Amino acid sequence: MSLDVHAIREQFPILQQTAHGKPLVYLDNAATTQKPVAVIDAVDNYYRTQNSNVHRGAHYLGDLATAALEDARLSVARFLNAEREEVIWTKGTTESLNLVAHSFGGSQLKAGDEVLVSTLEHHANIVPWQQVCERTGATLKVIPLAADGSLNLSDIDNLLTGNTKILSIAHASNALGTLNPVAELITKARKVGAYVVLDGAQAVSHFSVDVKALDCDFYAFSGHKIFGPTGIGVLYGKKDLLNAMPPYQTGGEMIETVSFEKSTWNRLPYKFEAGTPHIAGAVGLGAALEWLMAQDREAIWEHEKALLAYATEKAKAFPGLRIIGDAEHKVGVLSFLIDNTHPSDVGTLLDQQGVAVRTGHHCTMPLMAALQIPGTVRASFAPYNTHADVDALFAGLEKIIKFL
Ligand code: 7TS
């Protein structure tokens, strides 16, 4: 069944507006996605009818808010095929990865150990590991890049060794769209006894992810990149690992008992949720995941692949355009450069025509260095994008070429 894109678009009110007097063409979905009415209404309803603090059992509204927060957690658990207590609320992928790096990495790593990441990681999956390696004496190692923007795995058996304690890798690349062979990498990591962390920020909105089938140890994603609110995200972790880890942040909610001599920790998942959580955000994310799970996800994946293939074909025919990252397996991201133009100029001129893309290094400076480019222009697709959006992008580029 093909996707009814028109029916999907109607559920995203923001797409109906204009930008600089032109119909809005939103192609910056890798930065953040737009929100369907189901999410906007869930957040609105939460503040209108349920708002209270949670887990205090104090009164009627407190019970409603707690139930809403915990129902949202159940939605995440169902979405990832995880257990309820394996779902930790965070601010987003960045905080999720910091939590794993500092709590798990910080307690596991010692001098001589290695953490393996890849060249195409977002800074959020590099810098926390760098910090923890510095603190523990472990070494950060890097999987190199192949010419097409996929990972060069020719030397993987020398990189992933008995010294590798943690492999932390993007499920899909934000800058290039490359879909990494995570199943194969997890199998290899298991053989040397390494733990696996997946940065799912650019994966979960595109296709279904089953953490049990993948058998990863940790999985991180952000609400705002999957049709939910900003400021809320998820860390999935295997229960036995989470139980053995020290808390990341301390304070209210995450404790069992506190005295001036000693404090003890709450059970999972609360041990990792110090302070009042972003309740409305979690409710919105729960609604976003329920909305997405009610869609035909296979059809969404096929639709996005078709958009990418259409855009790639147009890009290849466009004079002076160089695609950056043309791996065989990709999510709907088209990164490119145009001869004799600067990415930010292209972005600004596209914006004037109502077309939203992102330009720059996309928080992947080591990747840009490896590619020897300062940045790219990036168009990234969501289920509500159409072939007409791709046409608008290329019509915009035609005008820019004439102008520049
Ligand atoms: N990991 C990946 C793969 C990402 O794409 C991003 C955000 C992050 C981590 C961090 O997520 P956050 O929600 O905590 O900020 N990527 C982008 C992007 O490509 N453009 O803007 C944000």
Residue range 219-261, pLDDT digits in tens: 999 999 999 999 999 999 999 999 999 999 999 999 999 999 9
Query: How many residues belong to the chain?
Result: 404
CB-ligand 1 contact for 66 (6 Å cutoff): no
Question: Residue 362: CB within 6 Å of ligand 1?
Answer: yes
The residue from 76, 363, 390, 397 that is catalytic is: 363
The pLDDT of residue 403: 84
Q: Which of 44-58, 179-193, 260-274 has the lowest mean pLDDT?
A: 44-58
CA distance 185 to 167: 9
**First-to-last C-alpha distance (Å) of the chain:** 43
Domain boundaries, the chain: 5-30+296-403, 41-293
- CATH number for the region 41-293 comes to 3.40.640.10
The pLDDT score that the predictor gives to residue 126 is 98
Residue whose CB lies within 8 A of the most ligand 1 atoms, among 99, 100, 122, 179, for a mutation test: 122
Q: Cα(220) to centroid of ligand 1, in Å?
A: 11
CA 92 to ligand 1: nearest atom? 14
Identity of the amino acid at 216: C
**Model confidence at 118: pLDDT above 70:** yes
Is 216 an active-site residue?
no
pLDDT of residue 174: 98
Does pLDDT of 370 surpass 90? yes
Residues 6+ apart with CB under 8 A from 26: 14, 15, 34, 356, 382, 384, 385, 389
pTM (predicted TM-score): 0.98
Residue range 308-342, pLDDT digits in tens: 999 999 999 999 999 999 999 999 999 999 999 99
Task: Give 16-61 pLDDT, tens digit per residue.
Answer: 999 999 999 999 999 999 999 999 999 999 999 999 999 877 899 9
Q: Is the CB of 122 under 6 A from ligand 1?
A: yes
Q: Is 124 in the pocket of ligand 1 (CB under 6 A)?
A: yes
Task: Please give the pLDDT value at position 392.
Answer: 98
- Give the mean model confidence (pLDDT) for residues 266-287: 98
How large is the C-alpha radius of gyration of the chain?
22
Rounded distance from Cα 329 to ligand 1 centre (Å): 20
The yes/no answer on whether domain 5-30+296-403 falls in CATH 3.40.50.170 is no
Q: Would you call 295 exposed, middle or buried from its count of C-beta atoms within 10 A (0-12, 13-18, 19+)?
A: middle
If you average pLDDT over residues 50-73, what whole number do you get? 94
Query: CB–CB of 178/120 below 8 Å?
Result: yes
CA angle 329, 155, 361 (to 5 degrees): 50
Region 257-283: mean pLDDT is: 97
Q: Could you tell me the distance, in angstroms and rounded to a whole number, from the CA of residue 142 to the centre of ligand 1? A: 19
My answer on whether omega of the bond before 374 falls inside 30° of 0, hence cis, is no
Mean pLDDT of 165-173: 98
For residue 57, CA distances in Å to 24, 50, 65, 253, 254 come to: 46, 14, 10, 13, 16
Q: Does residue 347 contact residue 359 with C-beta atoms inside 8 Å? A: yes
- Residues 233 and 88: their CA atoms lie apart, in Å, by 8
Q: Give the span between the Cα atoms of 326 and 323, in whole angstroms.
A: 7
Q: Are 141 and 164 in contact (CB under 8 A)?
A: yes
Question: Ligand 1, residues 27, 33, 94, 118: which to mutate, most atoms within 8 A of Cβ?
Answer: 94
- Cβ of 174 closer than 6 Å to ligand 1, yes or no, is yes
Residue 222 CA: nearest ligand 1 atom is: 13
**What per-residue confidence (pLDDT) applies to 1?**
67
Distance 195 CA to ligand 1 centre (A): 22
Residue 201 beta carbon below 6 angstroms from any ligand 1 atom: yes
Q: What average pLDDT does this structure show over 82-111? A: 98
As given in the structure block, the two tokens for residue 102 are: 């500092």
Predicted local distance difference test score (pLDDT) of residue 56 = 79
Q: Which amino acid is at 240?
A: D
Cα–Cα distance list, 41 to 11, 13, 52, 225, 365 (Å): 11, 12, 18, 18, 38
Confidence at residue 71, expressed as pLDDT on a 0 to 100 scale: 98
As a whole number, mean pLDDT of residues 296-302 equals 98
Q: Which atom of ligand 1 is nearest to the CA of 380?
A: 19
Average pLDDT over residues 148-174: 98
What's the confidence (pLDDT) of residue 298?
98
pLDDT over 70 percentage in the chain: 100
Average pLDDT along the chain: 97
Q: How far is the CA of 201 from the centre of ligand 1 (A)?
A: 6
Burial class (CB in 10 A: 0-12, 13-18, 19+), 399: middle
Q: Quick check: 76 pLDDT over 90? A: yes
Q: Is the CB of 203 under 6 A from ligand 1?
A: no
